[in-house]
Amino acid sequence: MTVLPGGVLRDTGPLDAPWDCVSKDASKRWKLEVRAVDDATFALRQSTRVSTEAPIGYLLCGTERALLLDTGDAKETADCPLRETVDALLDEWAASQDVSRPPLVVAHTHGHYDHVKGDPQFAGRPDTTIVAKDVDAVHAFFGLDGTPGATTEFDLGGRLLLITAIPGHDARSIATVDPAAGLLVSGDTAYPGRLYVDDLAAAKVSLRSMVDLAEAHGVHTVLGCHVERAADGGDIPLRARFHPEEVPFALTLEQLRALRDHVDRAAGKGVHPGDPMTLYVGNPPWPMLKLLGRGLLARATGRG
C-alpha cells in the first residue's frame, strides 16, 4: 500500500464511520483524510483546521482517465498536499489494475471558493486538464446545455459516468452519476446540513431531475461535499474549528427524495427547516448573521 504524504490520514473505516479530521484533537494532526468509497472511488476531506468548511472532494478512477471533483479550500501544498495525495492514490490504483497511471481531469461540483481554491496545485501537472470555473466553460467541456435532467456521458475507461447540470445552489453546479457503482456525487446540492439556494425555481427542477436520474440508474448512495448536521439532529455551527459528532456524510436515495419534496414545498425567501437539509433561500441577511453569530459563540466557548 502506497504511503500517503505527511499530514494525510488513510481512513480504512466504513463509509458511515466518523471522520477523524474534524474531531477536536485529530483535526490538529491531520490536513486531509482519505476514505475509500469503493475500489475506484476516494473521498478526500480537508481538516477543519485547514478549512472550517471541511469540504469533501472525490477522485474517480478509470483506465483511460481519472476525474477529480473539487480541489478544496487550500491553495498551497504546505497547507494541504492534495496533488501529492491524488498522485499517490492514482499510482496505487493503477498498479492494482496493472495499467498506466491515467490522465487526470480536474473539475468542480460547482464554483464556490471552498471547492476550487486548490486548483493551482495542479497547474503544470503532466497529463492534466483543469476545467475552468465559469458556467459556459463547464457546460462546454461536458457537452451540457444547462437543462437539469439532460445528461451527457463521460467515459473514464471501463467506467461510464453521467453528468447533468443542477443549478439552484450555484449556476455552475453539476451532479455526477456512476450507474454501475450506484453513486451520485451531488456537490453542495444534497448533503446533511444547510442548502443555500440562490435560485429556488431552478433548485426545484434540479432536485426533481436528480431523483429521477437516481431512480433510473440504481443509485443508492449520494455523496455530498459537507456535513453540517450533528448526530443529535442539531446544526453544526458555521465556521466551527471542529465538529464534535456528525451524522454520516452520505445520503440515501430515500433522503434525496425527502430533500426533493422539502424543496418543492418551499415558497419564498427565508429559512425552511427540514431533514436532511435546512434551506436558506435567497441568503436572508438576519438568519445568515445569526448563523455566523452562533459559530463565533461556539468558537469562543470551546464548543466548536
Give the residue-averaged pLDDT of 147-152: 86
pLDDT for the residue numbered 287: 79
Residue 298 has pLDDT above 80, yes or no: no
pLDDT band at 82; cut points 50, 70, 90: very high
Alpha-carbon Rg for the chain, nearest whole angstrom, is 18
Q: What percent of the chain has pLDDT over 70?
A: 100
Q: Identify the DSSP state of 244.
A: S
Sheet of strand 250-251, all strands in order from the earlier edge strand to the far edge: 151-155, 160-165, 174-178, 183-187, 221-224, 250-251
Please tell me the predicted confidence (pLDDT) of residue 79.
96
- The residue-averaged pLDDT of 35-53 equals 98
Residues 7-11: contacts with CB under 8 Å, at least 24 apart: 7/31, 7/32, 7/80, 7/81, 8/32, 8/33, 8/34, 8/81, 8/85, 9/33, 9/34, 10/34, 11/35, 11/36
Q: Is the pTM of this model over 0.95?
A: yes
Average pLDDT over residues 99-127: 98
How much is the pLDDT for 284? 83
CATH class of 8-300: alpha beta
Helix runs in the chain, H state only: 82-97, 113-116, 135-142, 200-216, 253-265, 285-300
Give the mean pLDDT of 225-246. 91
Q: Is the pLDDT of residue 244 over 90?
A: no
Residue 302 has pLDDT above 80, yes or no: no
**Residue of 178 and 286 predicted with greater confidence:** 178
Average pLDDT, the chain: 95
Q: Look at 37-41, 145-149, 300-304 and tell me which has the smallest mean pLDDT.
A: 300-304
pLDDT score recorded for residue 294? 82
Q: Domains of the chain: which residue ranges?
A: 8-300
pLDDT of 215: 98
pLDDT at 300: 78
C-alpha separations of 150 from 13, 107, 139, 191, 256 in Å: 35, 19, 11, 22, 19
Report whether pLDDT(123) > 80.
yes
Q: Is the pLDDT of residue 277 over 90?
A: yes
- Indicate if the pLDDT at residue 293 is higher than 90: no
Largest CA distance in the chain: 56
